[in-house]
A and B are shown apart, each in its own frame.
Chain A
C-alpha cells in the first residue's frame, strides 16, 4: 500500500504535465470561446451599450424565415454532400485498398492528397476558372458545338455541391481505405465461397467491417461541410444561402455580435444533434468510431 501510494503521486504529476498542452488548447481555444459565445448570445440590447440577459437573439432566429430556412437548407445540403461523398469515395477506397498492389496503391492515395497541397481558396478559384461563363468548360462546349452561346455553370446548388464533395473527398477516402485494407481478403472470399454474390458480400461482410470508418468519415465530412464558408460563397455567390455566411454577416457587416453568437451556438447544436442521430441510427459509439 505504501509503495503504491508513493509511486502514484509522481505519476499523477507527470500525467498532468503531459496533458498540459492538450488541456490548455482545449480550455483556451475550444471551451472558453464557446462559453463566451454562449454568454454573448444570451445578451439582448435594450439601449446603446446597455445589455440584459434574454432569449431575444434566439427568438429572432425562429421568427425570421430567412434565418431558419438558410439554417435548414445548410443542414440538408450538408447531409446530401456527405452521402454523395460516401457514395463516390467508397468505390475509390475499395479500389485502392483491395484491387491495387504495391506502388500503384501509394500513387493513387497521393493523387487524392495532392489537391490538398494548395489552399482551399486556390482550389475553389480553380473550379471558378473551369466553370464560369467564359471558363474552360463553357468554351469547350461551344468549341465542339454542343451549345451556341456561353453557359454559366457557377452560382447554382449543383456547383456548390460539386465543390463541397470535391473538398471533402480526402477525409472520406483516407479512413475508408485504411479500414478496408484491414479487411482480410479471406473474409470476402469466404463470403463468395459460401454462395454469396457481390451484393450480399458487400452488405453482409464489407459494409459491417467498414462501418466505423464510414461513420467517422461521414462525421468529419459533415462537420467540415456544415462549417464551410469559402466553397459555398465563391461557387454559390449571392444565392448560396449558407448559414456560415449569415454568421459572417452578423459579425462583420451588421456588427451584431449577439445575433452572430446565437447563430454560432445554434450551428454547433444542430451539428452535434445530427452527429448524435447518425451514431444512433448506425448503432455505433462515438469512442469506437473515432479510435
Chain B
C-alpha cells in the first residue's frame, strides 16, 4: 500500500470503456506532491479522457482516483480540489480579467475585500499587475495563458490539470511559455498534470513523464530515462528522433546481439538482461542520430559498430543540422547529427565518411504488434 500523504494524485487500475472501445486501459500512477507530471501521447491515445476523469467531467468504468488520499469517485467537478486549464483556455469573454479570476473565489463565498486582495496578489505573481480591468479580447496569447493559470491557482488547488494549453500559440511564444510554465509551477509549488502530444513540451517542463498509447501507460520516468532508456519500441520511436529499422536477430554473443536489417545492414547491439531474444526473432532497432559519431578517417575501437557511408544529403538547420548518409554495402539510409564544427564545414554530397557508434546506443526491442 502506498503512503497517501506523499502523493497529491493517485490512480489505481483506471479504466474508461466506451461502447466498443477502451479509451483508458488499466492505468495506475502516483504523482508526488509539487511535481510537474506530463502525460505524453499521440492524439487518440486516451490522454484527454484520462484528464477529464481527473477533473470529474467523465467517470471511470472501474478503478479509483485519489486526491490527497481521498477517493474522488462520485465527487462532482465543482467539489474536487483540482482545477483545469482548458485547451482553448475558456476565459469568460463577458467578464474582465479580475472578474475571471474572482469567479472561483466568489463561488467559495469569500468576502469582497479579500477577493480583491487575492486577485491583485495573483496578478502580480503572473506579472500582469494592473491588467485587472482589461477585457479578455485585449490580451495577447501569452497573457491569456497566464490569466487562465492564475484563475485556477488563485483557488489554491491540490492539483492543476493542463490540457495542451500551448497548442494554439505560435512557435516562438510556445518556447517562451514552456519556460514560464515551469517557473510558475516551481513558484506556486502546485502539482501540475500536463497533457500534450508535443514531446519537447513534456521533456523540457516535466519532472516525470508518462508516455501513453492505446489507453495504456507505456513508460513512466523522468525525461532522461525516457530518452536514453526507453522501455519499448513505442517509447523509443515516439520520444526524440531516431533511425528506426526492422531487423532479425542473426546471432547471440556473450554480451551482444547481432542483428540484420531488412536491407542487409548488420549491427551489434548490447544484450540486455530484461529482454530475451532468440535467433530469428523479429525486432525493431533504434539509433539516435546524435549517438552516431562521424569522422573522415577510420577511428575504429573495439566494441563499436563501424560503417563506411556516403553523404546523400545535407539538411542544414543550424544546431539541429543532420546528414543523410548511405551505408556502402546495404545502401541503408542513416540519419546522422552533423556537428557544426570546422572539420565538417566543407562536407558535400558524395563524400565518403566513417560512421561509428557504440553498441550500447543501439536499442533493440521486440517488434510491436499492431493493435
Cβ–Cβ contact B107 & A195, under 8 A: yes
B355 to chain A, nearest CB (A): 49
A213 to chain B, nearest CB (A): 14
Closest to A211 in B: B94
Q: Give CA–CA (A204, B78) in the complex, Å.
A: 15
Q: Give CA–CA (A184, B93) in the complex, Å.
A: 12
A197 to chain B, nearest CB (A): 6
Cβ–Cβ contact B83 & A208, under 8 A: no
Cβ–Cβ contact A194 & B152, under 8 A: yes
Cβ–Cβ contact B94 & A184, under 8 A: no
B198 to chain A, nearest CB (A): 20
Cβ–Cβ contact B94 & A192, under 8 A: no
Cβ–Cβ contact A205 & B92, under 8 A: yes
B202 at the interface (CB under 8 A from A): no
Closest to B94 in A: A208
Cβ–Cβ contact B94 & A194, under 8 A: no
Cβ–Cβ contact A192 & B78, under 8 A: yes
A202 at the interface (CB under 8 A from B): no
Q: Give CA–CA (A197, B77) in the complex, Å.
A: 10
A186, A192, A196, A209: which contacts B87 (Cβ < 8 A)?
Answer: A186
A187, A196, A208: which contacts B107 (Cβ < 8 A)?
Answer: A196
Interface string of B25-57 (1 = CB under 8 A from A): 000000000000000000000000000000111
B77, B92, B93: which contacts A193 (Cβ < 8 A)?
Answer: B77
A200 at the interface (CB under 8 A from B): yes
B151 at the interface (CB under 8 A from A): yes
Cβ–Cβ contact B104 & A195, under 8 A: yes
A190 at the interface (CB under 8 A from B): yes
Cβ–Cβ contact B77 & A189, under 8 A: yes
Cβ–Cβ contact A193 & B78, under 8 A: yes
Q: Give CA–CA (A193, B56) in the complex, Å.
A: 8
Q: Which of A126-159 contact B (CB under 8 A)?
A: none
Q: Which of A155-200 contact B (CB under 8 A)?
A: 184, 186-187, 189-197, 200
With A205-B92, A208-B94, A209-B94 as contacts: A193 and B84 at CB distance below 8 Å: yes
> For residue A208, which residues in chain B have a CB less than 8 angstroms away from its CB?
92, 94
Interface size on B, residues (CB 8 A): 25
Q: Give CA–CA (A192, B95) in the complex, Å.
A: 16
Cβ–Cβ contact B94 & A190, under 8 A: no
With A193-B77, A194-B152, A195-B155 as contacts: A204 and B92 at CB distance below 8 Å: yes
With A187-B92, A189-B77, A209-B94 as contacts: A194 and B107 at CB distance below 8 Å: yes
With A186-B88, A189-B57, A208-B94 as contacts: A196 and B103 at CB distance below 8 Å: yes
Q: Give CA–CA (A187, B86) in the complex, Å.
A: 9
Interface size on A, residues (CB 8 A): 17
Closest to B106 in A: A200
> For residue A209, which residues in chain B have a CB less than 8 angstroms away from its CB?
93-94
Q: Give CA–CA (A155, B186) in the complex, Å.
A: 73
Cβ–Cβ contact B103 & A194, under 8 A: yes
Cβ–Cβ contact B78 & A196, under 8 A: yes
A98 to chain B, nearest CB (A): 14
> For residue A194, which residues in chain B have a CB less than 8 angstroms away from its CB?
78, 83, 103-104, 107, 151-152, 155
Q: Which of B305-345 contact A (CB under 8 A)?
A: none
Cβ–Cβ contact B107 & A200, under 8 A: yes
Cβ–Cβ contact A184 & B107, under 8 A: no
> For residue A195, which residues in chain B have a CB less than 8 angstroms away from its CB?
78, 104, 107-108, 155
Q: Give CA–CA (A114, B92) in the complex, Å.
A: 36
B280 at the interface (CB under 8 A from A): no
A184, A196, A197, A200: which contacts B90 (Cβ < 8 A)?
Answer: A184
B76 at the interface (CB under 8 A from A): yes
B34 to chain A, nearest CB (A): 21
Closest to B104 in A: A194
Closest to A188 in B: B90
> For residue A189, which residues in chain B have a CB less than 8 angstroms away from its CB?
55, 57, 77, 84, 86, 90
B262 to chain A, nearest CB (A): 45
A186, A187, A193: which contacts B83 (Cβ < 8 A)?
Answer: A193
Q: Give CA–CA (A187, B76) in the complex, Å.
A: 16
Cβ–Cβ contact B84 & A190, under 8 A: yes
Q: Which of A191, A197, A200, A209 has the most CB of B within 10 A?
A: A191
Q: Give CA–CA (A208, B155) in the complex, Å.
A: 23
Q: Give CA–CA (A196, B88) in the complex, Å.
A: 19
B86, B94, B106: which contacts A186 (Cβ < 8 A)?
Answer: B86
Q: Give CA–CA (A192, B57) in the complex, Å.
A: 9
Q: Give CA–CA (A200, B83) in the complex, Å.
A: 17
> For residue B107, which residues in chain A have a CB less than 8 angstroms away from its CB?
194-197, 200
With A195-B155, A196-B103 as contacts: A190 and B86 at CB distance below 8 Å: yes
B77 to chain A, nearest CB (A): 5
Q: Give CA–CA (A197, B86) in the complex, Å.
A: 18
> For residue A192, which residues in chain B have a CB less than 8 angstroms away from its CB?
57, 76-78
> For residue B94, which residues in chain A have a CB less than 8 angstroms away from its CB?
205, 208-209
Cβ–Cβ contact B88 & A184, under 8 A: yes
Cβ–Cβ contact A186 & B103, under 8 A: no
Closest to A196 in B: B107
Cβ–Cβ contact A193 & B103, under 8 A: no
Q: Give CA–CA (A191, B91) in the complex, Å.
A: 10
A200 to chain B, nearest CB (A): 6
> For residue B92, which residues in chain A have a CB less than 8 angstroms away from its CB?
187, 190-191, 204-205, 208
Q: Which of B88, B90, B151 has the most CB of A within 10 A?
A: B90
A99 to chain B, nearest CB (A): 15
Q: Which of A190, A191, A204, A208 has the most CB of B within 10 A?
A: A190
A128 to chain B, nearest CB (A): 45
Interface string of A270-284 (1 = CB under 8 A from B): 000000000000000
21 contacts between A and B (CB under 8 A): A184-B88, A186-B87, A186-B88, A187-B90, A187-B92, A189-B84, A190-B86, A190-B92, A193-B55, A193-B77, A193-B83, A194-B104, A194-B151, A194-B152, A194-B155, A195-B78, A195-B104, A197-B78, A204-B95, A205-B94, A209-B94
User: Which 9 residue pairs across A and B have the least CB separation, nearest first?
Assistant: A194-B104, A195-B107, A208-B94, A190-B90, A186-B90, A186-B86, A192-B77, A192-B78, A193-B84
